[in-house]
Chain A
């Protein structure tokens, strides 16, 4: 089956579907995957989040406002799916606040030797990535999403408010609280998973 093409009326002025599915995935897939990975903290869940977000985006394409960036809309869908999953999980499980945070899965691509001329630098990058992810995993979901969107994805408070469906003041507060916690964890003031004030 050939991929469905988007009509001109469905095209976005900023970042959006401007051709077929391959183009849509090429434009927004990596951003969505990074966001999903930082939210979920592991590759399998990030894959599922991205797939579900794209499917829902296309199912509800009629409600998309073409004057707005497509990637922001996709982030919003992905974030909602993530929160739904968190709520379902919290409803079924008792989560220990003292438990160590889940460790990120390591893909085979990361384990196999690459073409990095400085293997030591690669290891350092992996360690740094692990530290950052562990710090993010220790945050409450709303703080994690706000900090990821601001500091990793580089979005404005207005865009983050749109994605998280909250006013700019709440966004500012969540970013500051989350960033303060990340700082404390990275500076070893707190251990990942330790309860914070």
Chain B
């Protein structure tokens, strides 16, 4: 045991924190080594002075302040007090909110007009327009075109 290099052992010995074997080794070494004995004695004196330092009494004013402050509810204690009812109310409230949202969304869908554009007539009109576009522009007459449009819308209304 390198006690010279590990004066910590002497401190631990003073504090009663060594095993029986370690204590015996340190004790034997300290009694035979003047350097370690001096170290032991000075550390023991320092420990004793610290241990006998006057203790501070708790100021009476601080006791009153503590009692008043601790009697005041803190956020933690408030949460602790409110948690049992909240444990039931929070999931119930969340369920009710979800149900209300679902009902509202459903009622909106029911009331909304059907603005869906019929896809098939639209594609048919597009094909027709593409074919018509192959006709030379000089042969296009506005009145004919209007008639074609009327015919087209008439066709689509019939399909619906």
Give A residues with C-beta under 8 Å from B: 1-4, 21-22, 24-25, 29-30, 33-34, 37, 43, 46-47, 50-51, 54-55, 58-62, 107, 109, 125-126, 128-129, 132-133, 147-148, 150-152, 154, 156-157, 168, 172-173, 175-176, 179-180, 182-183, 186-187
What mask results when residues 44 to 85 of chain B are scored 1 for a CB within 8 Å of chain A, else 0?
A: 011101111111111100110111011110111100100000
Binds A, one of B10-18, B90-98, B107-115, B131-139: B10-18
CB pair A59–B17 under 8 Å, yes or no, is no
CB pair B51–A152 under 8 Å, yes or no, is yes
CB pair A47–B59 under 8 Å, yes or no, is yes
User: A34: which B residues are within 8 A, CB to CB?
Assistant: 55-56
CB pair B66–A172 under 8 Å, yes or no, is no
From B42, B49, B63, A132 is in contact (CB under 8 Å) with B49
User: A21: which B residues are within 8 A, CB to CB?
Assistant: 66-67, 70-71
**B152 located at the interface, meaning its Cβ lies under 8 Å from any Cβ of chain A in the complex:** no
A119–chain B nearest beta-carbon distance, Å: 15
CB pair A129–B53 under 8 Å, yes or no, is yes
User: B8: which A residues are within 8 A, CB to CB?
Assistant: 172-173, 176
CA separation between A188 and B7, bound complex, in Å?
Answer: 21
CB pair B15–A175 under 8 Å, yes or no, is yes
CB pair A128–B67 under 8 Å, yes or no, is no
What mask results when residues 119 to 152 of chain B are scored 1 for a CB within 8 Å of chain A, else 0?
A: 0000000000000000000000000000000000
Known: A132-B53, A172-B12, A175-B11; 14 extra A-B contacts, CB below 8 A, are: A1-B71, A1-B72, A2-B71, A22-B67, A29-B66, A30-B57, A46-B56, A55-B70, A59-B76, A59-B77, A60-B76, A183-B45, A186-B46, A187-B42
**B36 located at the interface, meaning its Cβ lies under 8 Å from any Cβ of chain A in the complex:** no
CB pair B70–A58 under 8 Å, yes or no, is yes
CB pair B74–A125 under 8 Å, yes or no, is no
Known pairs A37-B56, A58-B74, A125-B54; A51 contacts B69 (CB<8 A): yes
User: A30: which B residues are within 8 A, CB to CB?
Assistant: 55-58
CB pair B12–A132 under 8 Å, yes or no, is no
CB pair B66–A51 under 8 Å, yes or no, is yes
From B50, B56, B70, A182 is in contact (CB under 8 Å) with B50
User: B54: which A residues are within 8 A, CB to CB?
Assistant: 125-126, 128-129
CB pair B46–A25 under 8 Å, yes or no, is no
User: A186: which B residues are within 8 A, CB to CB?
Assistant: 46, 49
User: B80: which A residues are within 8 A, CB to CB?
Assistant: 62
